[in-house]
Amino acid sequence: MTKFSGVPAYYPDKEAIELLLRASTTGHLVLSTFHIKTAPTTFTQFREYGIRGEAVASELKAIIAQRLVRRLCASCREPDDRPASLQTLIDHKFEVAAGGALYRASRQGCPACHHTGYRGRRMVYELLRMTPAVRQLIEADAPISRIAAAAFQGSYRRMWHHALELVAEGVTSLDEIHANVPEEV
Ligand SMILES: [Zn+2]
Protein backbone atom coordinates (compact mmCIF):
# COMPACT_ATOMS: atom_id res chain seq x y z
CA MET A 1 0.00 0.00 0.00
CA THR A 2 1.25 3.48 -0.80
CA LYS A 3 1.59 5.75 2.19
CA PHE A 4 1.03 9.42 1.69
CA SER A 5 3.31 12.13 2.99
CA GLY A 6 2.77 15.84 2.57
CA VAL A 7 5.87 17.97 2.74
CA PRO A 8 5.69 21.41 4.29
CA ALA A 9 8.97 22.63 2.76
CA TYR A 10 8.51 25.22 0.04
CA TYR A 11 12.17 25.68 -0.81
CA PRO A 12 13.84 22.42 0.12
CA ASP A 13 17.63 22.44 0.30
CA LYS A 14 19.98 19.61 -0.64
CA GLU A 15 19.51 17.75 2.65
CA ALA A 16 15.73 18.02 2.45
CA ILE A 17 15.69 16.72 -1.13
CA GLU A 18 17.84 13.75 -0.12
CA LEU A 19 15.46 13.04 2.74
CA LEU A 20 12.49 13.20 0.38
CA LEU A 21 14.20 10.80 -2.01
CA ARG A 22 14.88 8.37 0.84
CA ALA A 23 11.23 8.55 1.92
CA SER A 24 10.09 7.90 -1.65
CA THR A 25 12.11 4.67 -1.81
CA THR A 26 10.27 3.29 1.23
CA GLY A 27 6.81 3.20 -0.32
CA HIS A 28 5.72 6.74 0.54
CA LEU A 29 4.13 8.98 -2.05
CA VAL A 30 6.04 12.20 -1.47
CA LEU A 31 4.76 15.54 -2.73
CA SER A 32 7.01 18.56 -2.62
CA THR A 33 7.10 22.08 -3.97
CA PHE A 34 10.13 23.80 -5.49
CA HIS A 35 10.80 27.31 -6.61
CA ILE A 36 11.71 26.67 -10.25
CA LYS A 37 11.27 28.38 -13.60
CA THR A 38 9.73 25.53 -15.60
CA ALA A 39 9.22 21.79 -14.99
CA PRO A 40 12.44 20.60 -16.70
CA THR A 41 14.59 23.08 -14.76
CA THR A 42 13.85 21.05 -11.61
CA PHE A 43 16.80 18.96 -12.79
CA THR A 44 19.01 22.04 -13.05
CA GLN A 45 18.29 22.61 -9.36
CA PHE A 46 19.01 18.95 -8.51
CA ARG A 47 22.30 19.07 -10.42
CA GLU A 48 23.35 22.27 -8.66
CA TYR A 49 22.88 20.37 -5.41
CA GLY A 50 24.99 17.51 -6.74
CA ILE A 51 22.02 15.14 -6.94
CA ARG A 52 22.48 12.89 -9.96
CA GLY A 53 19.69 11.93 -12.33
CA GLU A 54 20.01 8.25 -11.55
CA ALA A 55 19.13 9.01 -7.91
CA VAL A 56 15.76 10.53 -8.83
CA ALA A 57 14.76 8.95 -12.16
CA SER A 58 13.33 5.73 -10.75
CA GLU A 59 11.22 7.36 -8.00
CA LEU A 60 9.90 10.46 -9.72
CA LYS A 61 6.31 10.24 -11.02
CA ALA A 62 5.70 13.68 -12.52
CA ILE A 63 6.46 17.40 -12.22
CA ILE A 64 3.86 20.12 -12.58
CA ALA A 65 5.05 23.71 -13.01
CA GLN A 66 2.53 26.49 -12.59
CA ARG A 67 2.22 30.27 -12.58
CA LEU A 68 -0.64 32.66 -12.06
CA VAL A 69 -1.58 35.25 -14.66
CA ARG A 70 -4.09 38.03 -14.15
CA ARG A 71 -7.41 37.86 -16.02
CA LEU A 72 -8.38 40.85 -18.11
CA CYS A 73 -11.33 42.82 -16.76
CA ALA A 74 -14.22 41.86 -19.06
CA SER A 75 -15.86 45.25 -18.50
CA CYS A 76 -13.04 47.38 -19.85
CA ARG A 77 -10.56 45.21 -21.81
CA GLU A 78 -9.57 46.71 -25.15
CA PRO A 79 -8.79 45.07 -28.50
CA ASP A 80 -5.07 44.43 -28.91
CA ASP A 81 -4.51 45.53 -32.50
CA ARG A 82 -0.72 45.69 -32.32
CA PRO A 83 0.62 43.78 -35.35
CA ALA A 84 3.33 42.16 -33.19
CA SER A 85 0.70 40.68 -30.87
CA LEU A 86 -1.17 39.00 -33.69
CA GLN A 87 2.12 37.82 -35.18
CA THR A 88 3.12 36.15 -31.91
CA LEU A 89 -0.02 34.03 -32.01
CA ILE A 90 0.36 33.25 -35.71
CA ASP A 91 3.99 32.22 -35.09
CA HIS A 92 2.69 29.71 -32.54
CA LYS A 93 0.06 28.41 -34.97
CA PHE A 94 -2.94 29.91 -33.23
CA GLU A 95 -5.94 30.97 -35.23
CA VAL A 96 -7.37 34.32 -34.29
CA ALA A 97 -10.82 34.99 -35.66
CA ALA A 98 -11.33 37.99 -37.93
CA GLY A 99 -12.26 40.90 -35.72
CA GLY A 100 -10.14 39.12 -33.13
CA ALA A 101 -10.47 37.86 -29.61
CA LEU A 102 -7.15 39.41 -28.80
CA TYR A 103 -7.29 41.90 -25.96
CA ARG A 104 -5.07 44.05 -23.78
CA ALA A 105 -5.74 45.73 -20.47
CA SER A 106 -7.35 49.14 -20.48
CA ARG A 107 -4.83 51.68 -19.24
CA GLN A 108 -7.32 53.60 -17.12
CA GLY A 109 -9.40 50.55 -16.11
CA CYS A 110 -12.91 50.93 -14.71
CA PRO A 111 -14.68 50.79 -11.33
CA ALA A 112 -15.26 47.02 -11.73
CA CYS A 113 -11.51 46.34 -11.66
CA HIS A 114 -10.53 49.21 -9.37
CA HIS A 115 -8.89 50.82 -12.40
CA THR A 116 -6.25 48.11 -12.79
CA GLY A 117 -7.53 46.59 -16.06
CA TYR A 118 -7.45 43.12 -14.50
CA ARG A 119 -9.86 41.08 -12.36
CA GLY A 120 -8.95 37.73 -10.84
CA ARG A 121 -6.30 35.22 -11.86
CA ARG A 122 -5.87 32.05 -13.84
CA MET A 123 -3.33 29.30 -13.48
CA VAL A 124 -1.14 28.27 -16.39
CA TYR A 125 0.79 25.04 -16.09
CA GLU A 126 2.84 22.34 -17.73
CA LEU A 127 3.02 18.65 -16.81
CA LEU A 128 6.25 16.72 -17.21
CA ARG A 129 5.37 13.03 -17.30
CA MET A 130 7.97 10.38 -16.65
CA THR A 131 7.81 8.36 -19.86
CA PRO A 132 10.52 5.71 -20.44
CA ALA A 133 12.31 8.09 -22.85
CA VAL A 134 12.26 10.97 -20.35
CA ARG A 135 13.43 8.67 -17.55
CA GLN A 136 16.37 7.50 -19.63
CA LEU A 137 17.48 11.08 -20.36
CA ILE A 138 17.23 12.03 -16.70
CA GLU A 139 19.25 8.98 -15.66
CA ALA A 140 21.93 10.01 -18.16
CA ASP A 141 21.95 13.64 -16.90
CA ALA A 142 21.17 14.73 -20.48
CA PRO A 143 20.91 18.45 -21.37
CA ILE A 144 17.75 20.05 -19.99
CA SER A 145 16.69 21.02 -23.52
CA ARG A 146 16.67 17.34 -24.56
CA ILE A 147 14.63 16.35 -21.51
CA ALA A 148 12.17 19.13 -22.34
CA ALA A 149 11.94 18.08 -25.99
CA ALA A 150 11.20 14.47 -25.02
CA ALA A 151 8.69 15.42 -22.31
CA PHE A 152 6.62 17.91 -24.29
CA GLN A 153 5.37 16.10 -27.33
CA GLY A 154 1.90 15.59 -28.70
CA SER A 155 -0.76 16.90 -26.36
CA TYR A 156 1.73 17.75 -23.59
CA ARG A 157 2.10 21.46 -24.06
CA ARG A 158 4.44 23.94 -22.47
CA MET A 159 3.27 26.47 -19.89
CA TRP A 160 3.98 29.21 -22.46
CA HIS A 161 1.66 27.51 -24.94
CA HIS A 162 -1.07 27.20 -22.31
CA ALA A 163 -0.68 30.92 -21.58
CA LEU A 164 -0.97 31.75 -25.28
CA GLU A 165 -4.22 29.77 -25.42
CA LEU A 166 -5.63 32.07 -22.76
CA VAL A 167 -4.48 35.09 -24.79
CA ALA A 168 -6.16 33.70 -27.93
CA GLU A 169 -9.37 33.25 -25.89
CA GLY A 170 -9.24 36.84 -24.66
CA VAL A 171 -8.81 35.75 -21.03
CA THR A 172 -5.47 37.45 -20.47
CA SER A 173 -3.08 39.66 -22.42
CA LEU A 174 0.27 39.14 -24.10
CA ASP A 175 1.75 41.84 -21.85
CA GLU A 176 0.70 39.84 -18.81
CA ILE A 177 2.18 36.54 -19.96
CA HIS A 178 5.40 38.15 -21.21
CA ALA A 179 5.85 39.51 -17.70
CA ASN A 180 5.00 36.29 -15.84
CA VAL A 181 5.48 33.15 -17.92
CA PRO A 182 8.90 31.86 -19.04
CA GLU A 183 9.20 31.06 -22.74
CA GLU A 184 12.21 28.79 -22.76
CA VAL A 185 13.22 25.51 -21.09
ZN1 LIG B 1 -12.22 47.16 -15.65
Would you list the DSSP string of 48-80? Answer: HTT--HHHHTTT--EEEEEEEEEEEPTTT-EE-
> Residues 110-131: pLDDT tens digits?
999 999 999 999 999 999 999 9
> What average pLDDT does range 158-171 have in this prediction?
93
Q: What secondary structure letter does DSSP report for 150?
A: H
Q: What local confidence, expressed as pLDDT, does residue 180 receive?
A: 94
Is residue 151 within 8 Å of residue 57, measured between CB atoms?
Answer: no
Residue, of 10 and 142, whose pLDDT is higher:
142
Q: Are strands 3-6 and 103-104 parallel, antiparallel or unpaired?
A: unpaired
CA of 117 to the centre of ligand 1 (A): 5
CA of 158 to the centre of ligand 1 (A): 29
Predicted confidence band of residue 39 (pLDDT cuts 50, 70, 90): very high
CA of 106 to the centre of ligand 1 (A): 7
Helices (H) and strands (E) in the chain, counts: 8, 6
CA of 79 to the centre of ligand 1 (A): 13
Q: From CA 107, how far away is CA 129, in angstroms rounded?
A: 40
Q: What local confidence, expressed as pLDDT, does residue 15 receive?
A: 86
Q: What local confidence, expressed as pLDDT, does residue 3 receive?
A: 58
CATH number of 36-180: 3.40.50.300
Q: What local confidence, expressed as pLDDT, does residue 17 receive?
A: 84
pTM: 0.85
Predicted confidence band of residue 1 (pLDDT cuts 50, 70, 90): very low
CA of 182 to the centre of ligand 1 (A): 26
> Residues 64-90: pLDDT tens digits?
999 999 999 999 999 998 889 888 888
Domain-by-domain residue ranges, the chain? 36-180
